[in-house]
Structure 1
Amino acid sequence: MAQHKASTGNHLKPGNKPAPNAKPRQPFELKRFLKSLGPGLITGASDDDPSGIGTYSQAGAQFGYGIGWTMLFTFPLMVAIQEISARVGRVTGRGISGNVCRHYPLWLLNIVVTLLFIANTINIAADLGAMADATTLLVGGHPILYVLLFGVASVAAQIILDYKRYVAVLKWLTLSLFAYVAALAFARISWGEALAGILIPRLAWNDNYFTTIVAIFGTTISPYLFFWQASQEAEDQRVDAKKQPLIEKHYGARKEFSRIRADTIVGMALSNLIAISIIVTVAATLHVAGKTDIQSSAQAAEALRPIAGPFAEAIFALGIVGTGLLAIPVLAGSAAYAVGEGRRWPVGLARKPKEAVAFYAVLALAAGFGIALNFTPINPISALYWSAVINGVLAVPVMVLLMVMARRHDVMDRYIITGPLYWLGWLSTGAMLLSVVAMGVGLFAS
């Protein structure tokens, strides 16, 4: 197969004037930039789901400011692997599962998709439970009623709302994350210690510390995020009549890759900013007060009340509900995309329900199982733990598949991933592998 260099626009020699029909470079406009944000922003925001909030709360309560460095460390790793996922979706016009089913054995696809569906379902259950507990803190009532309300509303919105309107709703929901930035105002923070904890890694050689590190890695680098962002890039391309997969229409690749990079960096930066805000708030309140045994995000909100006041509790609880409303559609949607693309069904939230019955059925099934798990005696904390274990184990082979696909010319044509992005993607994969090995050693030792 003949190799080609990517078309990246007009190249002018020094002194040459641009062609008369060349479009002048447009000045930066904040409104246009914000409008261009989409899959990366939503993916990054959904990473801070109620389960993630619980993990960051536990980390801050146990280890204080000193655990903040993990957010700075994981940021470039998140950006790299998510950008590669997005590029695969934009270049091929298919999500990860859609590419795996065309280039790899069926048994491998089935294992990956099954594990993803199980992990996402458990995560949905845990998120619904946390949202229900947070709502109970705010207004009272029975948690099970809120589980049903939030679960059904999330699925109904995905099925009923027009795609562009639904994406706009998700983008507006990302603002709910700033509740955790606002919560900083109610804590007496030692900013010197907080900055030192973020900038200077301080390791503690004990099982609890490394278990927390593994949990943070499993929360920030999750397979469902890879599947969602790749599929959303493919979806956005399908609904835009001006766009085609880049392997079919090479013009404009550089502009698209620049948009993807900016979108991903903003989304992951938002994700880690919120995570740092949660860790710092909890470190300055619960850790300082000696409350180190926090098992969930709702418990963290409740524990804040006597220390930081009712407003801090309310802000924290509202943030849990808002982030859950953003994360549950992403969890259910990524499972539906993975299953549907792997079976080569018509997929996409832009399709009418009657045009993609099987896709929407899987979406509803994932959410339905998540709702049902809240009616069982299964401990939500234990379920969340095993969800993290499955996510951690699943992330490694998915990341390896993604990195190999990103260098295959029969997948990416002229747009194979090279250079620093490629090696940063492998560094992210290696870091995830080390965290899984550390988790396995910890499980074996216990």
Structure 2
Amino acid sequence: MRKKKIFNRLRFFWKKLGPGLITGASDDDPSGIATYSQAGAQYGLSTLWTALITFPLMAAIQEMCARIGLVTSKGLTGTLKDHYSKPVLYLMVLFSFPAIVMNIGANIAGMGAVGNLLFPAIHAGFFSIGFTVLLLVLIIYLPYRKFASTLKYLCIVLLVYLIVPFLYKQDWIAVLKGALIPEITFDKKYISILVGILGTTISPYLFFWQATMVAEDSTHKRKKIIIDKKILGDLKQDVDFGMLFSNIVMFFVILTSGTVLFNSGIHNIDTVEQAALALRPLAGDAAYLLFALGVIGTGLLAIPVLCGSLSYIITETFGWQRGLDKKFHQAKAFYMVAAISLILGLLMNIIGISPIKALLWSAILYGLTAPVLIAIILHIANNKDVMGDFTNSKRSNILGFTALILMSIAALILIYLQIFD
């Protein structure tokens, strides 16, 4: 009887989770896993503390985006269009399009390379093409409910990264020290890794996705929403759990590479396939397979979010029909943007653009747009004309402005490193 009660509670909790969980999980895409693997391989456990620091900042910004979507029943782009000048809106589109496309390309390349590791007889390019076609079919043909449910269940794939570290002997005192005591080395490489972690965890495309999905999800659930404490509480719980889940995965990926790879003298990891391959002789086939399968699973989760974010940004900007709940003939432009972004991402790999360079440029563009977007989100979330009685609390503002300051510093450092490094 007690087991049944626990099961029912867990099932009820799972049903309540939605856009927040998907947003958080999609943040751990193959390119993010590559960044966390680099951090661990190069600096061991000394960057573990970033998982704890970034969690409240991520949660605060994403909760604001979710609340904006709930109150306005529009995505972030629609709210920007209604309340800000067109140059601000077009600047966001200008920076977002190439950054998201390059991120998609890097993720497709990572999935293809890992597919080739698992099945060496098949070229990585064929895997990349196969995954692109599969994703295109899922995005266009899956009805909204099934699409959202598929993404939600794909989040479970990320649990493999919580298993991998336990397949290798750990010094848990050192792990605790790395998590709780920040260690900062003032050299360019270490600062670059910190900037990379910030850019990977607090990514602008997630702001757009969170607001739009909450707006779309709420219209599917109820014809008219009366916002009360319970709805806001459920919203916050969903976002907090999603961001916590994202950061736990981040923590365990850094932990895996920071113990297995770093302790074995393997410090140069540029891609996810290199990380997976390096794990094999050190932690065994089980760790290697789980890590590799996790990359493919996270790609299948994150790329639709990237494509969807871009589709919503473009179609809301120009007032075109949009929505994952619509069929292709009802929102052709929406699905065409998703298709074009996937094809462009794939073409990057075919014509030989390095995934590492793509990630670098997307990080730069994200780094430049994130502080501006966070400032706008803070302004919207505190604007009574837009939010009515649902403006930011004091706690939200403190965390939001902390994120703004950190992302602004990160952007300045990123620019400095590109000019003077």
TM tier, smaller: over 0.9
In the other structure, the counterpart of 2:393 is 418
1:410 Cα shift? 2.3
Q: In the alignment, which of 266, 273, 281 is matched to residue 306 of structure 1?
A: 281
TM-score, length of structure 2 as denominator length? 0.96
1:418 Cα shift? 2.8
1:63 Cα shift? 0.3
Amino acid corresponding to residue 168 of structure 2 in structure 1: A
Task: Give deviations 1:20-79, integer Å, cap 9, x for gaps.
Answer: xxxxxxxx9322121010000000000000000000000000000111001101010000
In the other structure, the counterpart of 1:47 is 27
| Residues 1:95 and 2:70 are matched in the alignment | no
1:151 Cα shift? 1.1
Q: Do the aligned partners of 1:95 and 1:231 also contact (CA within 8 Å) in 2?
A: yes
Question: Hey, what's the Cα distance between the residues in 1 that align with 2:148 and 2:361?
Answer: 30
In the other structure, the counterpart of 2:5 is none
Q: In the alignment, which of 95, 98, 103 is matched to residue 118 of structure 1?
A: 98
| Residues 1:289 and 2:270 are matched in the alignment | no
Question: Hey, what's the Cα distance between the residues in 2 that align with 1:439 and 1:255?
Answer: 41
Amino acid corresponding to residue 327 of structure 2 in structure 1: K
Amino acid corresponding to residue 256 of structure 2 in structure 1: T
Q: Do the aligned partners of 1:189 and 1:280 also contact (CA within 8 Å) in 2?
A: no
1:285 Cα shift? 0.8
1:136 Cα shift? 0.8
In the other structure, the counterpart of 1:74 is 54
Q: In the alignment, which of 225, 228, 237 is matched to residue 253 of structure 1?
A: 228
Question: Hey, what's the Cα distance between the residues in 2 that align with 1:107 and 1:186?
Answer: 52
Question: Hey, what's the Cα distance between the residues in 2 that align with 1:51 and 1:169?
Answer: 21
When the two structures are aligned, how many residues end up with a matched partner? 413
Question: Hey, what's the Cα distance between the residues in 2 that align with 1:257 and 1:342?
Answer: 27
| Residues 1:360 and 2:335 are matched in the alignment | yes
Amino acid corresponding to residue 279 of structure 1 in structure 2: I
Deviates more, 1:149-158 or 1:297-306: 149-158
In the other structure, the counterpart of 2:215 is 234
Question: Hey, what's the Cα distance between the residues in 2 that align with 1:338 and 1:383?
Answer: 21
Question: Hey, what's the Cα distance between the residues in 2 that align with 1:33 and 1:161?
Answer: 25
Amino acid corresponding to residue 196 of structure 1 in structure 2: K
In the other structure, the counterpart of 1:137 is 117
In the other structure, the counterpart of 1:225 is 206
Deviates more, 1:144-153 or 1:54-63: 144-153
1:441 Cα shift? 2.3
Q: Do the aligned partners of 1:183 and 1:281 also contact (CA within 8 Å) in 2?
A: yes
| Residues 1:167 and 2:167 are matched in the alignment | no
In the other structure, the counterpart of 2:63 is 83
In the other structure, the counterpart of 1:193 is 174
In the other structure, the counterpart of 1:151 is 132
In the other structure, the counterpart of 1:14 is none
Q: Do the aligned partners of 1:228 and 1:334 also contact (CA within 8 Å) in 2?
A: yes
1:298 Cα shift? 1.0
Question: Hey, what's the Cα distance between the residues in 2 that align with 1:230 and 1:252?
Answer: 16
1:340 Cα shift? 1.0
In the other structure, the counterpart of 1:202 is 183
- Residue 189 of structure 1 aligns to a residue whose secondary structure is coil
Q: Do the aligned partners of 1:189 and 1:281 also contact (CA within 8 Å) in 2?
A: no
Question: Hey, what's the Cα distance between the residues in 2 that align with 1:428 and 1:436?
Answer: 12
Question: Hey, what's the Cα distance between the residues in 2 that align with 1:95 and 1:39?
Answer: 13
Please identify which structure carries the higher helix content: 2
C-alpha RMSD of the superposition: 1.2
| Residues 1:327 and 2:307 are matched in the alignment | no
Amino acid corresponding to residue 141 of structure 2 in structure 1: I
Question: Hey, what's the Cα distance between the residues in 2 that align with 1:224 and 1:135?
Answer: 26
Question: Hey, what's the Cα distance between the residues in 2 that align with 1:300 and 1:191?
Answer: 22
1:422 Cα shift? 2.0
Q: Do the aligned partners of 1:151 and 1:368 also contact (CA within 8 Å) in 2?
A: yes
1:137 Cα shift? 0.7
Task: Give deviations 1:345-369, integer Å, cap 9, x for gaps.
Answer: 2211011211111111111111111
TM-score, length of structure 1 as denominator length? 0.91
Question: Hey, what's the Cα distance between the residues in 1 that align with 2:73 and 2:376?
Answer: 17
1:169 Cα shift? 0.7
Amino acid corresponding to residue 232 of structure 1 in structure 2: M
Amino acid corresponding to residue 175 of structure 2 in structure 1: A
1:241 Cα shift? 3.5
1:413 Cα shift? 2.1
Amino acid corresponding to residue 209 of structure 1 in structure 2: Y
Question: Hey, what's the Cα distance between the residues in 2 that align with 1:417 and 1:283?
Answer: 38
Q: Do the aligned partners of 1:66 and 1:194 also contact (CA within 8 Å) in 2?
A: no
| Structure (1 or 2) with the larger CA radius of gyration | 1
Identity %: 40
1:283 Cα shift? 1.1
Question: Hey, what's the Cα distance between the residues in 2 that align with 1:406 and 1:412?
Answer: 6
Amino acid corresponding to residue 167 of structure 2 in structure 1: F
Task: Give deviations 1:308-339, integer Å, cap 9, x for gaps.
Answer: 11211111100000000000000000000111
- Residue 414 of structure 1 aligns to a residue whose secondary structure is coil
Q: Structure 2 unaligned segments of length 5 or more: list them.
A: 1-7
Q: Do the aligned partners of 1:82 and 1:229 also contact (CA within 8 Å) in 2?
A: yes
- Residue 46 of structure 2 aligns to a residue whose secondary structure is helix
Q: Structure 1 unaligned segments of length 5 or more: list them.
A: 1-27, 245-250
Deviates more, 1:211-220 or 1:161-170: 161-170
Amino acid corresponding to residue 308 of structure 1 in structure 2: A
1:411 Cα shift? 1.5
Amino acid corresponding to residue 66 of structure 1 in structure 2: S
- Residue 289 of structure 2 aligns to a residue whose secondary structure is helix
Question: Hey, what's the Cα distance between the residues in 1 that align with 2:366 and 2:259?
Answer: 30
Question: Hey, what's the Cα distance between the residues in 1 that align with 2:238 and 2:385?
Answer: 26
In the other structure, the counterpart of 1:370 is 345
Amino acid corresponding to residue 427 of structure 1 in structure 2: T
- Residue 417 of structure 1 aligns to a residue whose secondary structure is coil
